[in-house]
Amino acid sequence: MRYEDFHRRSITDRDGFWGEQARLIDWETPPQTICDYSNPPFARWFVGGRTNLCHNAVDRHLRDRADQNALIYVSTETDQEQAYSFRELHAEVMRMAAILQSLGVRQSDRVLIYMPMVPQAVFAMLACARIGAIHSVVFGGFASVSLASRIDDARPTVIVSADAGSRGGKVVAYKPLLDEAIRLAQHKPSKVLLVDRGLAPMERVEGRDVDYAALREQHLDAQVQCTWVEATHPSYTLYTSGTTGRPKGVQRDTGGYAVALAASMRHIFCGNAGETYFSTSDIGWVVGHSYIVYGPLIAGMATILYEGLPIRPDAGIWWRLVEKYKVTVMFSAPTAVRVLKKQDPAWLTKYDLSSLRALFLAGEPLDEPTARWIADALGRPVIDNYWQTETGWPILTIANGVEPRPSRFGSPGVPMYGYDVKLLHEVTGEELTGPNQKGVVAIEGPLPPGCMQTVWGDDARFVSTYWSSFPGRMAYSTFDWGIRDADGYYFILGRTDDVINVAGHRLGTREIEECISSHPAVAEVAVVGVADSLKGQVAMAFAVPKDAGAVETPQQQLQLEGDIMKLVDQKLGAVARPARVRFVTVLPKTRSGKLLRRAIQAVCEHRDPGDLTTIEDPTALEQIKALVASA
């Protein structure tokens, strides 16, 4: 089938199309209405249907593949490796469900999960889904103040946590952070369920804190049946990264999410039951929800839960796992690939990667040099994809499961089925239909299944934040600039609020970054707009050289900076030339690999960079501070 026809039908025959996709999951009661869009922009999918996420991820596979690997846990932090079959996963989830019920959790109650990448975190997510509770996973190690705000917003009955996580061999104690967060929060959970990994001492609060291992022993033979819930029943909330002020909880449904993930595993990721899926993300982020936990399991695949760095104990660890577990589909982030790009390329040829069919990358724009490098190194297709916490699954990519087509370096691809993607003028809201016209990437309602239902507890905020950007037009704004070429491929140019206005010229930082990163001496780069009294703003670039020894002296630095300036002049014109290119050994990023551009900009403007508790390497920002101070 031609993909254009497949996509067109998903827009013009929405009910017929999604009614067919709904057959990919099990229903206790089939849906009566496929899409209720009587109250835009709120879409209600598969109304009248009753289903359960945990049943679709675990129970339904017991008949045909009970002894097949389901969850493969690998920690290079604690040197642990354990595989759970679907039968074993089913038993552990029922035990966790019984524990949560014994602690007072009932249907629609919230359970906040503040955990490292350990199996018990996945058990807890699936157990919540099993009993109809709503989980809210907060990235492990998050600062107490930020965690407290999420506790107050979600109002959980129980919090599931652990003594500590570990990153790069360094233990991060969670319990003191959690205790302080609960002290700061107005809402107090009735119980805190604690997994003791033996990494850090824990002081337990009498009457509140309970031990997971002890309760597990009491519920070894637990039999907890799935609670069938309405398709529109919330499955979880997830707070968007970078939120300032009151947290913004993305609320996801149950039936629409299950159908969207099942369809994406078939049409986009081409994952088959019995195979192995490896996503290198974290369960604290949306990729971890969709493509570590729920998506692969719904498809009957084994999924790898990895705790550790891509270069520890060595830069071959990921590829060793691909060989050992015969990974067929892998999902990572461009930043991780850039980290590997700095290592010995021999690691990429040491292991047998013949099982791997494709590497998917998302989380930030994928620059062409990085894409070409990893594609050539692996000899496998590298497929970019673009989406958001709010959407839950890809907006733009290539659906090779429908019709194979080539990826295009620098482009995440074309709109996925169900998404009516437009490029809109940021001021007038007019649709831009010609090739290479720059506009805001927007989606006409209704959003397809699997996307956010609303902002948790705040429908008005959902409308005002996402659906009110364009005058006279109700369309969902991604807040990203994009262009579309003559063949329909989209290119993401960066956030609409990452635009630099230099002497009246509007420039996307993404475009400048793409240009600088194409220089053979540059490994990574971040470009931010900095306030300037003369021009309004100027671009400031911070680059990580591939060879630090090549920029040791001021003369070497000036030489490379000049070469980069000439390159920008040639490709983008003098107006896009950065005011300075500064060289650092590492860029400030979150532990999930996202560049902290806002923090860099704040330092350059001598402002407070804000909450930096998720920063991977605190010295990264110190380097930039020192450079700015010495200017």
Q: Which residues contact 500 (CB under 8 A, 6 or more apart)?
A: 506, 507, 508, 509, 529, 537, 538, 539
- Which two structure tokens, joined as six digits, stand for 248? 């913004």
Domain count, the chain: 2
Q: Is residue 58 a contact partner of residue 90, using CB atoms and an 8 Å limit?
A: yes
Residue-wise pLDDT tens digits, 604-616: 999 888 767 677 7
pLDDT at 505: 66
Nearest-angstrom CA–CA distance, 477 and 247: 19
Local confidence band at 485 (pLDDT 50, 70, 90 cut-offs)? very high
Q: Which residues contact 64 (CB under 8 A, 6 or more apart)?
A: 273, 300
pLDDT at 557 exceeding the cut of 70 = yes
Residue 120, number of CB atoms within 10 A of its CB: 23
Q: Which residues contact 579 (CB under 8 A, 6 or more apart)?
A: 530, 532, 538, 539, 540
pLDDT at 501 exceeding the cut of 90 = no
Percentage helix, strand, coil, to 5, in the chain?
A: 35, 25, 40
Q: Is the dihedral of CA 309, 128, 43, 417 positive or negative?
A: positive
Q: Is residue 373 a contact partner of residue 270, using CB atoms and an 8 Å limit?
A: no
pLDDT at 503 exceeding the cut of 70 = no
As a whole number, mean pLDDT of residues 302-319 equals 96
Residue 134 in any domain: the answer is yes
pTM surpassing 0.85? yes
Residue-wise pLDDT tens digits, 354-390: 999 999 999 877 888 889 999 999 999 999 999 999 9
Write out the DSSP string of 78-124: TTEEEEEEHHHHHHHHHHHHHHHHHTT--TT-EEEEE--SSHHHHHH
- Which two structure tokens, joined as six digits, stand for 173? 């104690």
Local confidence band at 470 (pLDDT 50, 70, 90 cut-offs)? very high
- Please say which residue of 479, 511, 541 terminates a domain: 479
List the one residue out of 223, 216, 217 whose CA is nearest residue 59: 223
**Highest mean pLDDT of the ranges 224-238, 367-381, 544-558, 585-599:** 224-238
Looking at the fold, whether 207 and 278 belong to one and the same domain comes out as yes
As a whole number, mean pLDDT of residues 246-260 equals 94
Looking at the fold, whether 511 and 598 belong to one and the same domain comes out as yes
Residue 336 in any domain: the answer is no
- Which two structure tokens, joined as six digits, stand for 500? 């630099």
As a whole number, mean pLDDT of residues 543-572 equals 90
As a whole number, mean pLDDT of residues 318-323 equals 98
pLDDT at 495 exceeding the cut of 90 = no
pLDDT at 574: 79
Looking at the fold, whether 263 and 158 belong to one and the same domain comes out as yes
pLDDT at 13: 98
Q: Which residues contact 294 (CB under 8 A, 6 or more apart)?
A: 53, 57, 257, 258, 261
Looking at the fold, whether 469 and 543 belong to one and the same domain comes out as no
Looking at the fold, whether 468 and 543 belong to one and the same domain comes out as no
Local confidence band at 272 (pLDDT 50, 70, 90 cut-offs)? very high
Residue 319 in any domain: the answer is no
Residue-wise pLDDT tens digits, 15-25: 999 999 999 99
Residue-wise pLDDT tens digits, 404-459: 999 998 899 999 999 999 999 988 999 999 999 999 999 999 999 999 999 999 99
List the one residue out of 134, 137, 138, 147 whose CA is nearest residue 105: 134
Looking at the fold, whether 45 and 154 belong to one and the same domain comes out as yes
pLDDT averaged over every residue in the chain: 93
| Run of H or E residues at 19 | helix 14-21
Map residue 228 onto helix, strand or coil: coil
CATH number at residue 532: 3.30.300.30
Residue-wise pLDDT tens digits, 116-127: 999 999 999 999
pLDDT at 500 exceeding the cut of 90 = no
Q: Is residue 256 a contact partner of residue 21, using CB atoms and an 8 Å limit?
A: no
- Please say which residue of 425, 447, 479 terminates a domain: 479
pLDDT at 242 exceeding the cut of 50 = no
Looking at the fold, whether 397 and 516 belong to one and the same domain comes out as no
Quote the domain boundaries for residue 20: 3-308+385-479
Q: Which of 23-32, 570-579, 617-626 has the lowest mean pLDDT?
A: 570-579
